[in-house]
Structure 1
Amino acid sequence: MAAEDLEWERSKISNQDINMLKRLGLMKKEDAIRFPSEESYPKPPMEYRVSFVDHLIRGLSTPIHDFLRGLLFVYGIQLHQLTPNSILHISIFITLCECFLGIPPNWALWKRIFCLRRNGSHNVTYNIGGVVICVRTDVDYFDVKFPDSVQGWRKKWLYIHEESANSVEHNIIPFDGSARIQRRRSWDAEASEEEKKATEALMSRIRQLQNTRGKELSGVQITAYFLRIRVQPLQARKNPLWTYSGKNDANRISGDLSTKDLEKLVRRLSRLGKDPVPSSCRVEPYSSANPLPENHPTMTSLPPLPEGGEVEEQAIIAEDTQGSSIPESEVAGSHKSAASHEKEVESEASESTQSLPPAVSPRNKRKRTDAEDSGTSKAEEVVPSHPKAAYDPYVESLVSSDDEEEVPITDVAPRTSTSRTVLASDTLVEGEETSPPQQNVVTTTPPSSPLAPSPKRTRVEKIVEPAPQLGSSSTLLLDDPMIKDLLRIGSQFIGYREYANRAEEKLAEAARKKAELAASKAKAEADEAKAKAAGVEELQKKLEDATAALDEHKAAQASREEGILKRLKTQSRRTFVQTNQEFDLTNPVDDPLLDALSYLELHGSEIREGVSNANAVLSALFPYFFPKKEEPATFLNLAKMFNTPEDLGLKMRQENMKVAVENTVALVADSRQTIDWMKVGDTEQIEQSRWKSLIKAAKPNTKKILAYLGIKPASTPSSSRPEV
């Protein structure tokens, strides 16, 4: 596993974060966000990209804004390599341009204010959040008051749906966790003289917004503004923010946040301390209520987009070192801390831009690789034009480590030469084996003189020479340098054939794995389709059952209504006299009297059944509560017997206790002992502990007494004094 992959771990998103995303309207669509399950490394589904909770709450949504897409392209970075504070920097800049300058986000203005730096230290380099956006040292910009650090944001990753995945426009580049951060010339790109002249009025307006007394604008105010109007600055929108029309604006993603949620979110994104959260901006932003002035210039300047192809500023600077890294905490406080660090690396950055290496090409590619081995630049800062192949000792033996210019292909030198270089041409000759792709193979024969220095890391294949025959000229032929070169080249081509066979086997294995993966995906899709079909059949069956039950209910209802109509025909006159209400027998659908009678008949049987059950229950309980009385004949009188103000249950327990006491007294009297019954009745004179000990002593005779009385003893007889 690559070192960059070790930064990823299982996503840990709390319920509090999920609730915040819901309140912000970022989960309004069902498939807008997917949360990882058990994977510890992102594997985004089709049409999804990797993002973070702290990126989304700082203004990121899909489809992304063209300005953000251009920044990612020009800087040569991916979305997960930006820190949360860098995302907020871009959101504030876009809001500043559209709401307070009245222009689209301007690339030339951006280059005058910002640059890019690595995020790390001398001992640590990051890939997740490995770059930070910094304010230039010579620019007076808003004091954003970022938090000192964003705790645990790398662990809160998720998948966001790429809404425009079917088109090129507004797409986020596909996730590649193994892509390393490489410093490019565009990181320090400055505005040209023409761009500086064109944006000078904008810079003056920014200084005016910052320094106008009583109307100072701050980064916290801008942050609170775009959170308050519920528009994501980094989302591709139909209309710019200077046309914002309030609660009915098409760009809003949710309703207004509560005052508590807004204050909590602003404090999470900023370092306010005890300062209050601004309720509004001191400068009124442009909107439909405050339109742009007439003849207001709209300067359009976007960073280059991928559709335009490569740009010169994307060239990689090979001299990028750890010294150019800056910890995120240093840029978190304000732009001043970033500026102070930029001074330390300014000389290094200028040196890198002044002496840029040539672009990687097939001719100087090997020289760049050798430069990496020598330690002049870091390996991670050179982008190879093709994936690095595995180490092959045979191929290594064909490549010299000397940094020599390539020699044109010429005829073989005269036989008298002591050493020569043979170059295998890229031109294919019929009947010859081809060399591995993109390999210019240079081989050097050993010098004839033992005193001549041999090239570094040069390996020469050992050629097994046949034993010379006596009396022949084979010895002279084998000693000839030309014959030796031919034999060596032949052995090399045999090695190339083996290399080609291995490459062919690897390609076949890769094709097989790809076919197996496609087959497994197709099987999973087929299983899912079968499950959906089974679910549809089950729902259809339930629908048919419900329809049949409804038809039966309608038929029963119609039958009841028909019976009612028949009875009403015979009793129409009496009904009219009693209710003084006519009814229409020819069209009984909307007749209220008929509906009331139908409802009464429907529930009458249930009422009768309930009264019958209540009568049976009360009859069964009557002899226990009223042992010396006769049960009433009617249900109403029976119910009245139980509906008394006294507690019948308590009364029954008291009666039973009275019987038990009388039985006990009878047993004691029969024992022919002299007992002072006055003292026995005075229970207040005995202590509770004494009472419990006496009950415990009497327990051995309890079963005998109860058996004598014909009562089955309970499992846990009560010895509570209040019961007595």
Structure 2
Amino acid sequence: MSGSGVGGKWMASSVKKKDITELREVGYLAKEIAHRLPAKGQIVPTPEPHERVVFLTHLFRGLGFPLHPYVRGLIFYYGLDFHDLAPNFILNITAFIVVCEGFLRIPPHFGLWLKIFNVKPKVVSGQQAECGGAMVGKMPNVTWPKGSFAEMVKGWQSGWFYITEPRDADWAAAPEFRSGTPMRLTSWQEKGLTLRPSDELTGLQTCVQNMIDRKIKLVNVIQVMLIRRVLPCQRGNCYLWEYDPAKHQMLLGLFGTTHEDIWKVLFKAGETPPPTTVDRWLSSKRQANSAWIEVAEGINCPALLPEDQEFPLLTKMLFPAPYEVREKTAKKAAKGAKKSPRRKGVLDVSSKDENPSSSADDDDEEEEKNDSPPKVGRKRRAVPMNPEAKAPKREKSSFADNSAWDVDSSPERPRRTKPQAAS
């Protein structure tokens, strides 16, 4: 197997002992997380039992151990391992957790995730990538803060090493490591499943729209992670809305960069980071309004975990749906290879590239081009992910009234007014 890293292949690890030392000093790796460096020049990992293969780029984007239960659930639902996740996959999970916990004051909501994001194969030069073979992206016409992450990260496949993650006694063991392409499951294809009452999902989408109306963008969302020095994908001892810097700060600093420079790594050029003095999120000192807290306390839709009992819908989602590269994609890759035998690596991109090259665009192939929502017609009945779990009883007015979904009633938030009727 090639060690060049071009084409979604594994690369020989470049992680050194000094890197691990710094990770521990600033807090990315806790004392109880054991680690092991790969052999010099080793390309394909060979983890021991209970070891996981992790990447430096993933840690910088909010991954932490022990894992947040929500992240464990997503990986299980999509049948993925860490090496299957392109760096922005982790960054999108981080942003989602921050939005839910830091702005909406609810635990990460699996039903809302399924209404916003979907997973697709990463295809490079006509083949699905072996490292970073799964991408996550927004579906069209969804309500979500504006902003664009840097699309590619140069040589990220070389930043891998082993860790041994502490796990609870009742956790299901992680799947055995495999170095090939990820197996696509039915869960990749089924988009926009409705797992909770539609009024609850509509209400949460209203909350996100309220964020957008207040000019909260993705840079503001990621600012939460950077200012609070937390790893959102790590299981912590509090939710972000309970955050107290004196008790809950996880990191002493940023690995190998500064607060000013990390924006160039995470976002496309043109995205302006907010001032470090701007506080737009919830914390122990900045609570949501009391009316919303009452509503939020009854909202809970966690991602399913491997140790949870399966039922028919979950069994269907976990069924393999193997991916086959479209013939025209393979022909296009072959044609490009003939024209450019020394083709530039698709990973050699920085955040300054506002307009990626056409070759990079070709490499970011998606499994389906038509991601438009289904045509409006007879509504499909919502299917709860767990048929035995009942939604909490609530007054109908709490869902029908938009004001009940107003998380933040602080003076900085302009109230939306209904347009006057034409005379």
CA distance in 1, matches of 2:137, 2:15: 29
* Contact 1:21/1:57 (<8 A) preserved: no
Q: How far 1:42 sits from its partner (Å)?
A: 1.1
**Partner Cα distance (1:228, 1:16) in 2:** 25
TM-score w.r.t. length of structure 1: 0.42
Partner of 1:248, secondary structure, is helix
- Whether the aligned pair in 2 keeps the contact of 1:42 and 1:50 (CA below 8 Å) is yes
Kept in 2, the 8 Å contact 1:119–1:129? The answer is yes
Aligned-pair distance for 1:56? 0.9
* Match status 1:236 vs 2:232: no
Deviation of 1:23 (Å): 5.3
2:263 to 266, 287, 297: 266
State the Cα distance separating 1:107 from its structure 2 match. Answer: 0.6
> Partner letter of residue 224 of structure 1?
Q
Residues 623-647 of structure 1 show CA distances to partners (whole Å, capped at 9, x for unaligned) of: xxxxxxxxxxxxxxxxxxxxxxxxx
Unaligned residue ranges in structure 2 (runs of 5+):
331-345, 356-360, 375-423
1:76 matched to 2:73: no
Question: Is 1:24 matched up with 2:26?
Answer: yes
Question: Which residue of 1 is the match for residue 39 of structure 2?
Answer: 37
Aligned 1:528-543 pairs, distance under 5 A: none
Q: Distance in 2 between matches of 1:325 and 1:188?
A: 23
CA RMSD of aligned residues (A): 3.9
Tell whether 2:58 aligns with 1:61: no
Report the CA distance between 1:188 and its aligned residue. Answer: 3.1
Q: Given that residues 143 and 218 in structure 1 are in contact (C-alpha distance below 8 angstroms), is that contact kept between their aligned partners in structure 2?
A: yes
What CA distance in whole angstroms lies between the structure 2 residues aligned with 1:245 and 1:126?
41
The correspondence of residues 192-231 of structure 1 with structure 2, limited to 5 A, is 192=194, 195-212=197-214, 216-231=215-230
Aligned residue for 2:147?
144
* Structure 2 residue matching 1:306: 3-state secondary structure: coil
CA distance in 1, matches of 2:71, 2:289: 28
Residue 370 of structure 2: aligned partner: 346
Show the counterpart of 1:50.
53
- Equivalent pairs: percent with the same residue? 25
Aligned-partner Cα distance in 1 for 2:372–2:175: 30
CA contact (8 A) 1:50 1:157 kept: yes
Deviations 1:370-393 (A, max 9, x none): xxxxxxxxxxxxxxxxxxxxxxxx
Secondary structure at the aligned position of 1:160 is classed as strand
User: For structure 1, which segment, 127-136 or 181-190, has the greater mean C-alpha deviation from structure 2 after superposition?
Assistant: 181-190
Q: 2:106 aligns with which of 98, 103, 110?
A: 103
- Equivalent residue for 1:86, pick from 89, 102, 112: 89
1:8/1:41 contact within 8 Å kept: yes
Contact 2:13 2:161 in 1 (8 A): yes
Change (3 A) 1:65 1:323: farther
Gaps of 5+ in 1: 351-724
Q: Does the C-alpha gap of structure 1 residues 241 and 177 become closer, same or farther in structure 2, counting only changes over 3 Å?
A: same
Decide whether the 8 Å contact of 2:84 with 2:182 is kept in 1: no
Establish whether residue 311 from structure 1 lines up as the match of residue 315 from structure 2.
yes
Return the offset for 1:124: 3.1
Task: Give the superposition deviation at 1:232.
Answer: 1.0
CA distance in 1, matches of 2:295, 2:71: 25
Equivalent residue number for residue 289 of structure 1: 285
Off by >4 Å, runs of 4+ in structure 1: 1-6, 14-20, 256-260, 323-329, 340-344, 347-350
Aligned residues of 2:65 and 2:234 also touching (Cα < 8 A): yes
Structure 2 distance, partners of 1:211, 1:66, is 31
For residue 113 of structure 1, report the CA deviation from its aligned partner.
0.3
Q: Please say if residues 73 and 305 of structure 1, whose CA atoms lie closer than 8 Å, have aligned partners that are also in contact.
A: yes
**Take 1:274 and 1:134, find their aligned partners in 2: how far apart are those partners?**
19
Contact 1:119 1:325 (8 Å CA) reproduced: no
After TM superposition, list the pairs within 5 Å mapping 1:113-128 onto structure 2: 113-121=116-124, 123-128=126-131
- Aligned partners of 1:17 and 1:53 also within 8 Å: no
Q: Is the CA contact (8 Å cut-off) linking 1:145 and 1:333 kept in structure 2?
A: no
Q: Per-residue displacement from partner, 1:168-227 (whole Å, max 9, x unpaired)?
A: 438654422246432424443323285432211111111121123xxx111122112112
Question: Do the aligned residues in 2 keep the contact of 1:82 with 1:132 (CA within 8 Å)?
Answer: yes
Q: Deviations over 1:133-183 (max 9, x none)?
A: 01001213223321132000011111122111x624386544222464324
The residue that corresponds to 2:302 in the other structure is 302
Aligned position for 1:622: none
What is the CA-CA distance between 1:18 and the residue it aligns to?
4.9
Tell me: CA distance 1:345–1:272, structure 2 relative to 1, closer, same or farther (3 Å).
closer
The one-letter code sitting in structure 1 at the alignment partner of 2:224 is Y
Amino acid at match of 2:201: T
Cα 1:21–1:278, aligned 2, differ >3 Å: closer, same or farther? farther
- Write the deviation string for residues 486-509 of structure 1: whole angstroms up to 9, x where unpaired: xxxxxxxxxxxxxxxxxxxxxxxx
Q: 5 Å matches for 1:488-499?
A: none
- CA distance in 2 between partners of 1:319 and 1:48 (Å): 28
1:321 is aligned to 325
Matched residue, 2:412:
none
Are the aligned partners of 2:67 and 2:235 in contact in 1 as well (CA < 8 Å)? yes
Distance 1:139 1:194 in 2: 17
Partner Cα separation in structure 1 for residue 328 and residue 77 of structure 2: 19
Report the structure number with the largest CA radius of gyration.
1
* Distance change (3 Å), C-alpha of 1:301 and 1:266: same
The number of equivalent residue pairs is: 338
Is the contact made by 2:85 and 2:134 (CA closer than 8 Å) also made in structure 1? yes
Write the distance in 2 (CA, Å) between the matches of 1:343 and 1:155. 26
Q: Give the aligned residue type for 1:210.
A: I
Seen in structure 2, the aligned counterparts of structure 1 residues 269 and 20 have a Cα distance that, compared at 3 Å, is: farther
Structure 2 CA distance for partners of 1:11 and 1:342, relative to 1, 3 Å:
closer
Q: Is the 8 A contact 1:183 1:320 kept in 2?
A: no
Alignment pair present for 1:190 and 2:187: no
- Separation in 2, partners of 1:315, 1:73: 12
Aligned AA for 2:282? Y
- Opposite residue 162 of structure 2, the aligned amino acid is Y
